[in-house]
Amino acid sequence: MSAIAAVLLFLSSFENTYFTFGKDQVNDSRYVSLGLTDDFNGLIKDRIEIGYWKDPYNSSSFYTTYQLGLSAKNEIVYAEFFTGPTLITQPDYRLSTPFEFKHDIGIGVLGKDKVGIGINYSHLSNAGISEPNLGRDSLQLKLTLPL
């Protein structure tokens, strides 16, 4: 099996892909991410995401997360909540461990072709495992495309 066929087979098992970008709670860090969402049974979903943030203090990190969540939608709007473990490449003054937890809540609208646009709020912290645990909160614009 060629590499392209393997990638296409892998991607075909997902419901959609999404792209987010935004800023954190004090407007000093910029975020960008790319993810894939899978449908368990309509309401329950799981997703994988890779992302990156950078702040003006030369702190930056890549991250990857696996989340489970609830996603409700009709023909026009959607609402979702996801949570799960996250690994970051660079702990910093806000996040002291490479193991964190990421929580997302979002709302948005869907077009006829299932392309969506929405607002996503994310919280990232280590749940008090280690200090400092200031966390990172970000507000992001989200674009969703069906696969």
- What tens digit of pLDDT does each residue of 96-136 get? 999 999 999 999 999 988 899 999 999 999 988 888 888 88
Cis ω for the linkage preceding 132 (within 30 of 0): yes
* 15-146 placed in CATH 2.60.40.1730: no
The DSSP secondary-structure symbol of 133 reads B
- What tens digit of pLDDT does each residue of 16-34 get? 899 999 998 776 789 999 9
> Residue 88 has what pLDDT?
96
> Residue 7 has what pLDDT?
56
Q: Is the pTM of this model over 0.85?
A: yes
- What tens digit of pLDDT does each residue of 41-95 get? 878 999 999 999 998 877 889 999 999 999 998 989 999 999 999 999 998 888 8
d(CA 10, CA 24): 32
> b/e per residue, 89-115, with b = 16+ CB within 10 A?
eebbebbbeeebbbbbebebebeeeee
Domain ranges, ordered by start, for the chain: 15-146
